[in-house]
Amino acid sequence: MAKTVSLVLGCVGARGFAHIGAIEELLKRGYKINAISGSSMGAAVGGIYAAGKLTEFKEWAEKLTKMETFRLVDFTFTSQGFIRGEKIFTVLKEIIGERRIEDFDIPFTAVATDINKQEEVWLDKGELFSVIRASCAIPTLLTPKKLGNRLLIDGGVLNPLPVEPVLRTKSDLLVVVNINASVPSQAKIIKQEPVTTESDAYMDKMVISMKKWLNIKPTVEGNDETLGYFGLLNKSYDLMQDRMCLMSIIHHKPDYVVNISRDSSSVYEFYRAKDMIEEGRIACIRALENKEVYSD
């Protein structure tokens, strides 16, 4: 009889590719995933797996380069965020197709946040990529998504490790993948392909544009931004989510905690999918073999 798992996938950003490695390792060891819940990138990977398209998604993600990643970014520079996110989801729809969550064989719930009502929202019905887009709307980065009468942003704002929505049977093991853990990185860094001159120039242009828009100035210590706008935002967001994940783990007492180092990747390094998939695989092996719990 297969060992069954209720799987919870945390947020946020590019570190979420680690969920692919964790899922693959669970399946390799004979676990059957009975239900999934996720926030932000956890919702994206979990939803795509529940749709039966994880292999296609992985193959696409592993081919992403810096240049291709930036070409998928549709800048808007509005007061609600500076990325629309339509390009990337259009590409994913072409790869995976239009899918509705209620048609999945595996129960799946994505978590988002209603910014106006200031409440957590569980999304277990509807068009997959509209739901994922809402759950992934990182404040100030990706513009909010309107679904019905709700204006939705990243589920990680209120629940970065959403255990509560996952449907469980008495026999299910509860496995959570926490991608904001204060632990050392496990995987060896895979050498990236050289960045082309074209890519360097494009990235430099985008960085200059963002700095002008955000009015970022050098710090008094020198000419470099030792902790600029995004650095400060990321560190603050990581710290907040780290504490919230810890409290969720302490409260729910999962059977296994797969800890992904918050230092393994920044939120924006989507071109490092191979690194993060390997990070997730190694962290999952460690968790299953050592029955790892949260460590601070």
The structure tokens 């629940």 sit at 159
Catalytic annotation present for 40: yes
Comparison of pLDDT for 102 and 294, the residue scoring more: 102
Catalytic residue among 6, 39, 40, 135: 40
Pair 156, 136: CB distance under 8 Å = no
Residue 114 exposure: Cα atoms within 13 Å on the Cβ side: 12
**112: helix, coil or strand?**
strand
| pLDDT at residue 173 in the model | 95
> What's the rounded Cα separation, in Å, for the pair 23 and 126?
24
Pair 158, 237: CB distance under 8 Å = no
Please state whether 77 falls in left (phi above 0), alpha (psi between -120 and 50) or beta: left
Please state whether 71 falls in left (phi above 0), alpha (psi between -120 and 50) or beta: alpha
Share of the chain above pLDDT 90, in %: 52
pLDDT tens figures, 50-79: 999 999 999 999 999 988 887 877 666 655
Handedness of CA 249, 286, 184, 165 (dihedral sign): negative
> What's the rounded Cα separation, in Å, for the pair 199 and 131?
32
Pair 272, 9: CB distance under 8 Å = no
pLDDT tens figures, 238-247: 777 778 888 8
Lookup: tokens for 228:
């600029």
- pLDDT-based confidence at residue 21 (cuts at 50, 70, 90): very high
Catalytic residue among 154, 172, 238, 275: 154
Closest Cα partner for 52 from 106, 132, 130, 126?
106
What is the model's pTM?
A: 0.83
| pLDDT at residue 205 in the model | 53
> What's the rounded Cα separation, in Å, for the pair 275 and 265?
9
Pair 16, 138: CB distance under 8 Å = no
207 has a pLDDT exceeding 70: no
Lookup: tokens for 171:
């026999």
Catalytic annotation present for 6: no
